[in-house]
Amino acid sequence: MAKIYAPNSPEISEREIQNMDRARRIAGQTMVLLENKGVLPLAVTDKPLSVYGSGVRRTVKGGTGSGDVNSRSVYNAEQGLEEAGFTIASKAWLDRFDQICEKHMQEHLQHFMSLLQENPTDAIRDSLENPYRDPDVAESTPEELGDGDRDLAVYIISRTSGEGSDRHVQPGDYELSQGEISNLKTLTEAYRSVVVVLNVGGVIDTKFLRAQPGIDAILLMSQLGNISGLALADVLTGKVVPSGHLTATWAENYTDYPSADTFGHRNGNVSDEYYSEGIFVGYRYFDSLNIKPAYPFGYGISYTTFSQRTNRVSIAGADIVVSVTVRNTGSLCQGRETVQVYASQPEGKLAKAYQVLAGFAKTKELLPGEEETLAIRFPVISLASYDPDTAAWMLESGTYYIRVGTHSRNSHIAAAFRLEQTVVTSQLKNRLKPDESFSEISVSPARFYTYPGEAQEKKEAFTLDLIAKAIPSETIQYSGAPVELTTNKTEKVIMDDVLAGAASLEDLTAQLTPEELTELVVGSARGGFGSASVIGAASTACPGAAGDTTSSLLESRNVRNLVLSDGPAGLRLSKTFVADSQDNVIPGLGESAMGGLEKYFGVQAPDRPADAVDYYQYCTAIPIATALAQSLDMALVEEAGDIVGGEMELFGVTIWLAPGMNIHRNPLCGRNFEYYGEDPLLAGMCAAADTRGVQKHPGRGTCIKHFALNNLEDNRSFNNAHCSERASREIYLKGFEIAVKQSNPLSLMTSYNLLNGLHTANSYDLVTAILRDEWGFEGLVMTDWGTTGGELNPALDNKYGTSDAALCIKAGNDLVMPGSQQDVDVILEALKNGSLTLAELQLCAMRVLKLVMICEKAV
């Protein structure tokens, strides 16, 4: 019997209402206005508004897979606009498109059922890799356009992507579909102005949208959770003034991205991914090779205008401080602006990007004519580069330029710092050497982007000297092999003794048998593939949660289990479940987190007992991670985490399997919506803010993921990321380092893929040497679900084999999830044959116990 936290009333709660209001306020700050020729904001009048596109009624709140959230309901765009006061004139077209989609859905379900009869395993894999997507939009007919007002139409383009498969450069995905293009041509001929709204989780091709006459505004709505339609209406009507900025470069052509031709399925090689662009990812690449994007990193406009004035750039201790005054120069409305500070590092032994983001800050709401002074502060050592030859982070001698602006193509030199000698800021050891040689692109300053007056700005820049001796430096000491734990306690130690201070965690761990230790380091699921445990709904304590740690030591040692729930746009739990009067959850009754998928596998609902009680877990779907990052407001991101943390307390969830913080290396990654963007500083700061929001709730924690280089979905369990140590550390690990040091997350999840020939979950260098010894991480490390079996992730090409449960423990990856009997057997056999030591097993088990203790103490 598990303790039930969920309420037993189906009525909408005050918590739901308040959290939707909070999410709505957050969402309004995340949208990015890309174009506006004076048509936005819209005035609410008695004239009917024509709204078309796949995103009107079928508004996408977020991506699919573990990133989904089971909310009570979702406000679509039509509902949001009607609540704002508009009358919708295009219902005939919307009704017809609904009918087309319903037919398409039935065909999709029939395909699934036919697969199910042939092979249930193939059916569930197919459902994960090829989730339902709406068909191409119907073309508008003259009758559907009607004879009403032809002043303006809104067209909403939606896209969905998700876990298990990557996107494609094809119509209806990265490219506009033929139906979308045809409809937009029709609408721009029929209406004086068309506003295009992008209800998308990632980059799409915008060439047609920018070139088509009559498209007078483009708004990146993104995917904003269950209040999506309400938040959209707020921004379209000017109730909220858009202030978001892009966190990824939107290219003019897909082929402009450095990994365009070699990414995943693009070259047919899903086993090996060569990171040949090195550190030149996103704007670092576009700026350094002077490739003009459609929309640059950091870009976003407003309904008003702003000016920025740099007041002073100074050194304060070991930090650089930039003071900038922002003024609302418009006359019509209030607004917020973000100051972005970039740094250009000197070319030396190591090639450098044209500029890198060093810091940012956002104003409050400024009224017309109002101004605010912001201070952006960042450590000098954050500008260091990693030299793999010497295994050191270093600031090379030369001149560092500080740039201030509004996006990566609108930054101007505000000051310069001169460093006379190279300084090693951190001496490490090589940990991530490539497993084979491959070429990286070569970039020289001669190819850099430039702008009129830049050379003169450099000559006239106010210059300060950086004093080498004042710059902090460290030499990392790495841990050795763990020592086997012993205890002089003769009486049985239980968790209560540890909590009371009568015994230590070491005492408790030392008394456990190898079998008990193994139970602790393997998740509680023991089912085979096809069970709810494998597809992320394994919890018995909190129905719909992704999994639990073991409760096998509850009776003997009073060690409670941890409940882990998927994210990262809220908690993914079962909306409803049923328990008997003794609080025993009855499987098969209620609505599961799998959306009822289990019924197609022949799982029959049991008879409902007379004493059955219904429970309700309606969770708030917050904006996707990319949207949160677009706010460039860390207080807002922290509030989003606070929303989730409060619901974790309510429903009894211990660890939120979020935030995801992999880098947007290529726009085709199917899970980019779960991640913040292409810049590691931004990703790290967002994850830290999210974590602070969650962990202000006692006994609740985040699990930052996926560590590391989880940058594609196709063949994700068997893909080998070949990446230089410098690029790994500067681009793909840096965000994790920032999050660890700024927020101390309680846990971290390793990724499915290999890095330089070794599964990340089996990598001592990643999990212990870098994460714990170099960064000081003190939390628990767990695998992603099914890492050691690969059941979730069919091998398109299993060239490298699967991750090994015993090697997870040897590496310091403390918890294997969701757990299987095979994992237990593999670990015990490794202990028996000596390839795994008892000390290594004890260390991982003790970290599981430590997290249980932390969470128990807090509540």
Tell me which residues are annotated as active site. 784
11: helix, coil or strand?
coil
According to DSSP, the β-strands at 392-395 and 385-387 are antiparallel
CB 419 within 8 A of CB 408: no
3-state secondary structure 15-64: HHHHHHHHHHHHHHCCCEEEEECCCCCCCCCCCCEEEECCCCCCCCCCCE
Q: 747-750 and 780-782 as β-strands: parallel, antiparallel, unpaired?
A: parallel
757, 793, 788: which is closest to 166 by C-alpha?
A: 793
Can you count the helices (H) and strands (E) in the chain? 23, 30
- Say which residues have a Cβ less than 8 Å from residue 784's Cβ, sequence separation at least 6: 705, 706, 749, 750, 751, 752, 761, 817
Task: Return the closest-CA partner of residue 443 out of 255, 289, 256.
Answer: 289
Contact present, 358 and 342 (Cβ < 8 Å): yes
**Which pair of structure tokens corresponds to residue 49?**
């508004």
Contacts of 225 (CB under 8 A, 6+ apart): 23, 27, 61, 62, 69, 71, 569, 570, 620, 621, 622, 623, 624
3-class DSSP state of 847: helix
Contact between 396 and 387 (Cβ < 8 Å)? no
Cβ(200)–Cβ(157) under 8 Å? yes
Q: Which residues contact 207 (CB under 8 A, 6 or more apart)?
A: 252, 253, 294
E-strand stretches of 333-472: 338-344, 356-362, 371-379, 385-387, 392-395, 398-407, 410-419, 423-427, 463-466
Pairing of strands 410-419, 392-395: unpaired
Is the C-alpha dihedral spanning 731, 736, 737, 743 positive or negative? positive
Neighbours of 484 (CB within 10 A): 13
